[in-house]
Structure 1
Amino acid sequence: MTFYSRLQARWQATDSLVCVGLDPQPELFPAQFSTEAQPILAFNKAIIDATHDLVCAFKPQIAHYAAVGAEDQLQATMDYIRAEYPDIPIILDSKRGDIGSTATMYALEAFERYQADAVTINPYMGWDTIEPFARYTDKGVIVLCRTSNGSASELQNLALASGKTLFARVAQQAAQVWNTHKNLALVVGATAPAELAEVRALIGDMPILVPGLGAQGGDTEAVMKAGLDSQGAGLIINSSRGVLYASKGTDFAEAARAETLKLRDLANRYRS
């Protein structure tokens, strides 16, 4: 199955557009994990078990593992999802962006070392960045377009000579030129609903990964109205900190489930 087909199957099976980001910060873990030999893996397993039936995807962020030398726990986390919940796509959030042999190695890292179903990348260097990933036709390549951070507009909203903004140019290029294998998606932040609506109009029913809800303050109603595709789906609505650290007590897993369910139901309120 391709990433697109796996994602569509999860949207339908779970009636959920929610993705849980697995961005571990051990200093925020409940005290019970302080004695674990592999605290990140143990914490992730608990979150995954508590939320698996409510999500369309899981999204581990590679920096949260690499920075503390926990790549083995990233691999083990992804292996656990594949073994226990094989229908759930895994998005490796690495935002790689390079060309030539380096881009090829980053694609190998994502799709062969970690066996991710999709990966996030930065398109600043153009098609040469994207092609080594896109040639894995059964995998998803999720291209940064209009991100959720506060200074995103400094570059992404710049007007080009054509009159289009840079983010709109990326969206158009992705939909009309780069998506030859039908395996591209875009990242558009929840904090930019007007830009999200513009992107959706440009790309048709391509999937959009939407970070920025919860801790970053995105508005769920605005996101849903701006971003849904023609089938009332098309979004991967990510929440990381809001789910993972809903509680620092022994009820952390139950709190994570409650937050995920709350987000799923809130999003579904605005689907048609």
Structure 2
Amino acid sequence: MFIQQLERAQEKHQSLVCVGLDPNQAKIDALGLGLLDWLKQIVDATAQHVCAFKPQIAYFAALKAEAELTAIIAYIHEKHPDVPVILDAKRGDIGSTAEQYAREAFERYQADAVTVNPYMGGDTLKPYSSHAGKGVVVLCKTSNAGSGELQNLTLADGQTLFQKVAGKAANDWNDNRNLLLVVGATYPVELADIRQIVGDMPLLIPGIGAQGGDVEKTLKAGLRADGKGLIISSSRGIIYAGDSAENCAEKARQACVELKNTINQYRD
């Protein structure tokens, strides 16, 4: 089960950090490295300090690099089998199409979890959640500045839309107990509210670093009593910490360790 694998990695590596793999061809070319070589270096440098990796499918697809995406997920599974892979795809469509997206994530790419959009209703999540051993990470309160335009709308029952999604995910859509939620670090008040709604459900937290999310506020708002329950995602601040082929891996490792240590001081 994905959630159990995730929590074992968190315990083993004493880390809530998830490294996002978002390849920017211009930046990688400037280092003088090939895409797959660069990916492997970043993965190997940070794997002992993370609880998950999160490749963003759009970055690979835009580069026509689906083969490299397949290869790096297989590499992680082979070389670092204790670290699960979340495919950041944010898929959302009717059931028959969702079945194909689920096959793409879990069969073609062999990801351990996938991000999905619940806007079309709970039935569109079942093709993913029916893969009982996989994780399904549902968008709830996203980190972008405009998320409140829809997600903070008040419904007829007095709940906001993001509160409704959180409640549905925790109580109605989670038959296989393999759902998680995406909640942005940029909204710690909403994060605390969602934690109250969903209990111990794990939460994927983007927005730390470049988007301005605060680590201390995030941990206080969302951490479970056992010191787990959060997956703190960082991409650019880690993977592009270096500026040369010689230091890119080591600088990524240092940035990852720094974030891990910053997080852990609030877990004690």
1:214 partner SS? coil
Residue of structure 1 aligned with 2:186, choices 185, 191, 213? 191
Give yes or no for the alignment of 1:264 onto 2:233. Answer: no
Q: Residue 97 of structure 2 corresponds to which residue in structure 1?
A: 102
Deviation at 1:33, TM superposition (A): 2.7
C-alpha separation in 2, matches of 1:225 and 1:32: 38
C-alpha separation in 2, matches of 1:199 and 1:21: 23
Q: Residue 15 of structure 2 corresponds to which residue in structure 1?
A: 16
Read off the aligned partner of 1:73 and give its amino acid letter. E
Q: Residue 123 of structure 1 corresponds to which residue in structure 2?
A: 118
C-alpha separation in 1, matches of 2:146 and 2:10: 32
C-alpha separation in 1, matches of 2:156 and 2:202: 28
Which consecutive segments of 4 or more residues in structure 1 shift more than 6 A?
A: none
Deviation at 1:30, TM superposition (A): 5.8
Q: Which consecutive residues of structure 1, in runs of 5 or more, have no partner in the other structure?
A: none
C-alpha separation in 1, matches of 2:240 and 2:29: 9
C-alpha separation in 2, matches of 1:5 and 1:62: 24
TM-score by length of 2: 0.98
Aligned pairs, number: 267
* Contact preservation (8 Å) 2:31, 2:243: no
Deviation at 1:230, TM superposition (A): 2.5
C-alpha separation in 2, matches of 1:31 and 1:208: 35
Q: Residue 178 of structure 1 corresponds to which residue in structure 2?
A: 173
Could you list the per-position Cα deviations for residues 109-150 of structure 1 after superposition, in whole angstroms to 9, with x for gaps in the alignment? 001111110000000001121000000000000000000011
Residue of structure 1 aligned with 2:218, choices 214, 223, 228? 223
* Contact preservation (8 Å) 1:144, 1:186: yes
Deviation at 1:247, TM superposition (A): 2.0
Could you list the per-position Cα deviations for residues 34-70 of structure 1 after superposition, in whole angstroms to 9, with x for gaps in the alignment? 5xxxx22111100001101000000000000011110
1:243 partner SS? helix
1:58 partner SS? strand
Read off the aligned partner of 2:2 and give its amino acid letter. F
C-alpha separation in 1, matches of 2:142 and 2:263: 20
TM-score by length of 1: 0.96
Q: Residue 52 of structure 2 corresponds to which residue in structure 1?
A: 57
Q: Residue 251 of structure 1 corresponds to which residue in structure 2?
A: 247
Q: Which consecutive residues of structure 2, in runs of 5 or more, have no partner in the other structure?
A: none
Residue of structure 2 aligned with 1:80, choices 65, 72, 75? 75
C-alpha separation in 1, matches of 2:243 and 2:118: 37
Deviation at 1:32, TM superposition (A): 4.0
1:229 partner SS? coil
C-alpha separation in 1, matches of 2:31 and 2:13: 31
* Contact preservation (8 Å) 1:29, 1:248: no
Could you list the per-position Cα deviations for residues 6-36 of structure 1 after superposition, in whole angstroms to 9, with x for gaps in the alignment? 01101110110000000100111263435xx
C-alpha separation in 2, matches of 1:27 and 1:248: 12
Comparing 225-234 with 118-127, greater Cα deviation is found at 225-234
C-alpha separation in 2, matches of 1:89 and 1:74: 14
Q: Residue 145 of structure 2 corresponds to which residue in structure 1?
A: 150
Identity value in percent = 55
Q: Residue 111 of structure 1 corresponds to which residue in structure 2?
A: 106
Give yes or no for the alignment of 1:135 onto 2:134. Answer: no
2:225 partner SS? coil
* Contact preservation (8 Å) 2:49, 2:257: yes
The root-mean-square deviation of aligned C-alpha atoms, in Å, is: 0.9
